[in-house]
Amino acid sequence: MFVMNFGAGYYDPVNDRWVEPEIPNEAITSQDGFPGQGMPVLWLLNANEGSGYPLKVVNFLNGYAHRRDVYAAIVVPGTRLVDPNAYAETWGAIWGEGLPPVNAPIMEVNRDRLEAHTNDPNRNVNGLPFLNCLTHVIAHELGHTVLWHRNDLGDHGHHNGRDAVGNPLTNFDCHIWQFFGWSRVILPTDFCPNNPGCIFRWKLNP
């Protein structure tokens, strides 16, 4: 998974001009760009597209990067989620208002439960490392901040192996696969890295 901010040109006050973005939008819209490589793209908002400073504005490095604001989701540990049958849940999409007045995506992770299950050899039958499990869960929730209610393809953004009419489209080698994979030997490390069909289920900036 990677995060970038496309399409954000900037104003150059010295020369009083608008500078076009170095990386064109086609990078995420053309088959010659990332989609053709089978990579999903998280389209990030710049500060003008949302409020909530400083929560969505975390990437102030230098020069060029100063012009690029990167959103941040807030990760909160919790022991009792609204859904007792989940390891984590997400509140708010990156383009939404989030949980007022916090106004940023929030993902609550039942870390203790995940760790207890990771340490249980009757559940974690393949000995998956806890950090892998935690990363996978957080990445899954991070995906939801982008795939917020993509209901046109069913399952609210989850990838479950099929499209809306049941044709095979996605596979489980993806952070946004519907279920945590205790039976897996290796957990996904990315969003659909080997299955370009998955990208058609991604919802970019609406």
Partner 1 sequence: MRTKLSLMVGASMLLAGTIFFGSPPSGRSPLPYAPDEALEDFKKAVALFEQGLYEPAIKVTLKLYRQYGDVQAVWFPTWVRRVVKDLPDPKNHEEVLRWTIQSQGRPFLYTMALKGGTVSSLLMESYFDLGKYEEARKWADFILARNPDADIPYNIRKLCDYHLARGSRPLQLPSKTIWRSLPLGYREEDYFILVPLDEACKVLGLGCSIAPNPKMAGGKGIRVTKPDSPNTAWRLFLGHPTVERLENGKGHTEGIAYAPFEEDGKVWVPFYWLAKQVGIRGWEVRNGKIYVAPKQGTK
Judged by beta carbon, residue 68 or residue 111, the one nearer partner 1 is 111
Collapsing DSSP states into helix, strand and coil, what is residue 42? strand
122 to 141, contacts with partner 1 by CB under 8 A?
Answer: 122-123, 125, 137, 140-141
Q: CB neighbours of 194 closer than 8 A, spacing ≥ 6? A: 38, 171, 173
**Is residue 48 packed enough to be buried (19+ CB in 10 Å), middle (13-18) or exposed (0-12)?**
exposed
Site for partner 1 in 47-76 (CB under 8 A): 74, 76
Question: What CA–CA distance (Å, rounded) separates 176 from 153?
Answer: 14
Contact track, partner 1, 152-191, x by CB under 8 A: ---xxxx-x-----------------xxx-xx--------
Number of residues that bind partner 1 (CB under 8 A): 49
Segment contacting partner 1 by CB under 8 A, of 21-29, 59-67, 147-155, 192-200 = 147-155
From the CB of 138, what's the least distance to partner 1, in Å?
Answer: 10
Q: Enumerate long-range contacts of 51-55, CB under 8 Å, 24 or more apart.
A: 51/103, 52/98, 52/102, 52/103, 52/104, 55/102, 55/103, 55/104
Using CB under 8 A, list all residues that contact partner 1: 74, 76-92, 96, 99-102, 106, 108, 111-112, 115-116, 120, 122-123, 125, 137, 140-141, 144, 148-149, 155-158, 160, 178-180, 182-183
